[in-house]
């Protein structure tokens, strides 16, 4: 049962579960492996799972009408990810979820999640809390985009996602903070050059 310790610890940060509840929960999970550059979900599909990353790293992104990608979120180990719009509405979504490296998730289907809310009400609390936290960080990110120049958004990203910056291709970071790879490159040069 060691392979479930990461997800159980993640959940126990907010709620307590009995052994029975743990077993019940675990029985609902479905492991999915995604190879580097393959997709867990594509735009146009209906999102059927809340996914918890146990290994590797995913990125959620959209493609705009001009063919440009925009990164909505990264999901490294120990993070949850889904196309929330599609998951809630069960309509075709707009988000691609792709593996940046070979990745494993534990997938909780929408129907399983809803059963969980009824059988173990504490899960309602758990998902309320992680949704609240997610909301707060998206609000902050929006305000950063409205109020900060790209250079400060980059520095904030490096602080908040410390470690991730080393793993991610720079162009993904650029897309996340909302600049072109060329401009990010220029900023990095400037930051290096000016700091000595």
Partner DNA sequence: TATATTTCTTAACATACATTAAGTATAATA
Partner DNA sequence: TATTATACTTAATGTATGTTAAGAAATATA
Q: How far is the CB of 134 from DNA (least distance, A)?
A: 25
CA-CA distances (angstroms) from residue 48 to 40, 100, 108, 129? 11, 21, 8, 21
Site string for DNA, 51-90 (x = CB under 7 A): ---------------x-x----------------------
Residue placing its CB nearer to DNA in the complex, 110 or 186: 186
74 phi/psi in degrees, rounded to 5? -105, 145
Q: Which residues bind its own copies (CB under 8 A)?
A: 62, 64, 68, 70, 72, 84-85, 88, 117, 121, 124-125, 127-128, 131-136, 138-143, 145-148, 178
Residue placing its CB nearer to DNA in the complex, 94 or 185: 185
Q: How many CB atoms lie within 10 A of CB 80?
A: 19
- When CB distances are held under 5 to 8 angstroms depending on the partner's kind, the choice from DNA, its own copies, none that residue 186 binds is DNA
Site string for DNA, 126-155 (x = CB under 7 A): -----------------------xxx----
- When CB distances are held under 5 to 8 angstroms depending on the partner's kind, the choice from DNA, its own copies, none that residue 78 binds is none
- When CB distances are held under 5 to 8 angstroms depending on the partner's kind, the choice from DNA, its own copies, none that residue 20 binds is none
Q: Is the Cβ–Cβ distance between 171 and 182 less than 8 Å?
A: no
Q: Is the Cβ–Cβ distance between 51 and 34 less than 8 Å?
A: no
Angle between helices 19-28 and 5-12 in degrees, nearest 10: 120
C-alpha span between 62 and 10 (Å, rounded): 27
Residue placing its CB nearer to its own copies in the complex, 25 or 80: 80
- When CB distances are held under 5 to 8 angstroms depending on the partner's kind, the choice from its own copies, DNA, none that residue 125 binds is its own copies
The backbone region for 136, taken as left when phi is positive above 0, alpha when psi lies in -120 to 50, beta otherwise, is: alpha
- 38 binding DNA? (CB under 7 A): no
Q: How far is the CB of 47 from its own copies (least distance, A)?
A: 12
C-alpha span between 196 and 16 (Å, rounded): 50
CA-CA distances (angstroms) from residue 14 to 7, 44, 126, 127, 160? 12, 33, 6, 9, 21
Q: What does the binding site for DNA look like in residue numbers (CB under 7 A)?
A: 36, 66, 68, 149-151, 169-171, 178-186, 188-189
């Amino acid at each position: 049962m060691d392979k479930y310790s990461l997800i159980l610890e993640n959940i126990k940060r907010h709620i307590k579960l009995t052994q029975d509840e743990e077993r019940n929960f675990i029985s609902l999970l479905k492991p999915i492996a995604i190879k580097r550059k393959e997709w867990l979900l594509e735009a146009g599909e209906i999102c059927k799972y809340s996914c918890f990353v146990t290994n590797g790293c995913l990125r959620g992104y959209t493609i705009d009408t001009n063919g440009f990608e925009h990164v909505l979120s990264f999901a490294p180990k120990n993070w949850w990810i889904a196309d929330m719009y599609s998951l809630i509405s069960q309509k075709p979504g707009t988000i691609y979820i792709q593996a940046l490296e070979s990745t494993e998730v534990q997938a909780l289907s929408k129907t399983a999640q809803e059963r969980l809310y009824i059988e173990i009400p504490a899960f309602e609390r758990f998902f309320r809390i992680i949704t609240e936290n997610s909301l707060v960080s998206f609000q902050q990110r929006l305000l950063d985009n409205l109020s900060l120049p790209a250079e400060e958004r980059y520095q904030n990203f490096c602080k908040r996602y410390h470690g991730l910056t080393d793993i991610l291709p720079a162009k993904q970071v650029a897309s996340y903070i909302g600049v072109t790879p060329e401009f990010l490159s220029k900023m990095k040069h400037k930051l290096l050059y000016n700091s000595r």
